Structures are given as C-alpha cells and as structure tokens.
Amino acid sequence: MQTPRYALTDAQWAALGPLLPPAKPGGRPPSDPRRLIDAMLWVLHTGAPWRDLPDRHGPWQTAYHRFNAYRQDGIWDRVVEHLQRHADLDHGQWNVDGTVVRAARPAAGAKKKGGGRRAGRSRPGPQPRRVGDQGALGVRPGR
C-alpha cells in the first residue's frame, strides 16, 4: 500500500511516535496520534486553513488544538533537537526549513546610500502619473 501524500511513512512514524507524549488518562478516548500528525503535516505543507482539513484526518479542531498544545509545551522543540542529534549527517547538511529569505543590505548591517527618505529609489525619466489622474481605461483626459 502506498503512503498517502504528505503522510508519514512507517519508518518516519517509528522515529517520531515515541517522542510524543502519551495520552492523558480519563476523559474522551484519545485520538490516533499518527492521524493527527498527518493532519498537521497536511495543513503545514498545503498552507490551507485548519478548517479545510480533509475529513480523513478527523475533526480539524482536534488537530489544531493538539498542534498548539505541542507548541506551547515545547514538544516540537524537543522533537527537532532529538532528530537533529540522530540525523544521518553523511550528506553534509541537514535543514529543518530550507526557505531562502532575501533581505535588504541594511538589514545585514550595511550602511544606506545617501540620505533622505527616498534615497536610492529615484527613477530615470518622467515619473508615471497616479491612477487618479487618468480617465477610463487608463487614458489621460485631453488638455
């Protein structure tokens, strides 16, 4: 059987499952933790709102509240630390998030060019007119 998209494989679950806290005794029967983790991964990967979680993952509220509880209790921090310690580093690099974020040079400590509010933003040639100065279909009224 093929693993559903964005779901943990059996090997991944074998590494992650023991790192999660056990269900608290009493109250309602606990939800399947693997199904909840798959739900969290689906939301994080797709960027969809929690309310759009497919029915196969169970109630969105359960996954949402468990995700936030793990975050507040520091569970995710401990999981990442554990996985980093035991990661296969033969490939030379291991990233939790490989997103590239570009920043302006001043954000890295470089000095800004010139002074004033619009320094470094001047455009050659005439400046475009504002949309409010134009008529229908972007055509300027005759003079």
The residue ranges of every structural domain in the chain are 33-87
pLDDT digits (tens, 9 = 90+) for 7-54: 889 988 998 999 999 888 877 888 899 999 999 999 999 999 999 999
CA–CA dist 78, 88 (Å, integer):
18
pTM greater than 0.85: no
CA–CA dist 102, 48 (Å, integer):
24
